[in-house]
Amino acid sequence: MTKAAQNSREKNLDSTAWLELRRHSPTNSQTVSFDNRASQAYFDKDNSGSWYLLPECIVLLEDLSQRLAEFQQAQRDNQAHQNQNIAQQRFSMVSFHQAYGYEEFVEGIRPVMSGTAQANNSHSNQTQMSYAVQDGAFLKLCQRAARNPQQRYAMLIDEINRANVSRVFGELLSLIEPDKRAGKPNAMTVSLAYSGRAFSVPANVDIYATMNTQDHSLAPLDMALRRRFRFIDCPPQPNLLSIIYDSNDIDTGLSDGSEAAMIDLSKLLTGLNRRI
């Protein structure tokens, strides 16, 4: 039925079945005549006109059924393993950008694609779309951390200054303060904007964020967020870079340690930063 629907032949199922039965009949059949047979025979027809599965195909079908069951079990095991790995993972990483918001970070109403439905006056299948409140990256991490308070969890944010931070964090600007975490003296609990669930940030969640101090998008980063983080300056370290040789000179046998053959990456990085 599914294959017939995909091929838009739902109105000709009897003809399709009859054609396929004859096509997969043995060449030495005494009851079926057909010119364009398939290489593999599965069915034959007895003198009463009833179709039956060839005896040698029953073993093949049983083997196929066993393999299908093993494949489905392997899929379930793999999915369970992936879910377990996600549940055990003690960090989550996101990258902020101009379109990133509260809906991706905390929670929001997001489209959910599920199921298929046949459109009116059409044979094509359509995916049904509905909307539901879904947890964001930070909320999922906090849920895992709350179930395992003995371990520390980390939220890693790349390019934190690229997004509208106040809009992304929302009520988290207050909840992430150390003394307002769950179980702390000034613990705070708020109702989330979309689901209305009570939420507080676990004490074992750390937030790490990176930013480029030369980026002009630093200006909108308000003081409310700045005072909640400890800043660590990470200047470039040219001394960690080595000297490399021009591959063209090596290929032509001209690499003799001369200035023309060497590229000092340390000096190159220093010069680039000076120009910037």
Question: What is the average pLDDT across 69-75?
Answer: 82
Q: Is 44 exposed, middle or buried (0-12, 13-18, 19+ CB in 10 A)?
A: buried
Same domain? 106 vs 179: yes
Residue 46 has a pLDDT of 86
Same domain? 98 vs 221: yes
* Domain presence at residue 76: no
Helices (H) and strands (E) in the chain, counts: 10, 11
Taking phi over 0 as left and psi of -120 to 50 as alpha, with beta for the rest, 153 belongs to beta
Render pLDDT for 127-152 as a digit per residue (tens, 0 to 9): 788 889 999 999 999 999 999 999 99
Same domain? 163 vs 247: no
Residue 107 has a pLDDT of 93
Write out the residue range of the structural domain in which residue 249 sits.
238-275
- Report how far residue 266's alpha carbon sits from residue 269's, in angstroms, rounded to the nearest whole number: 5
* Domain presence at residue 191: yes
Structural contact between residues 199 and 193, judged by C-beta atoms closer than 8 angstroms: no
Structural contact between residues 181 and 243, judged by C-beta atoms closer than 8 angstroms: no
Q: Tokens 């308000």 appear where? A: 222
Same domain? 93 vs 162: yes
Same domain? 43 vs 152: no
Same domain? 99 vs 17: no
Number of domains in the chain: 3
Reported in sequence order, the residue ranges of the chain that DSSP labels E, i.e. its strands, are 43-45, 51-53, 91-95, 107-118, 125-135, 153-158, 190-191, 198-199, 205-209, 243-245, 262-264
* Domain presence at residue 71: no
Supply the mean pLDDT for the chain: 80
In the predicted model, is pLDDT for residue 238 greater than 70?
yes
Same domain? 212 vs 102: yes
Is the sign of the CA dihedral 198, 137, 221, 193 positive or negative? negative
Residue 2 has a pLDDT of 55
pTM of the full predicted structure? 0.58
CATH number for 155: 3.40.50
Same domain? 245 vs 220: no
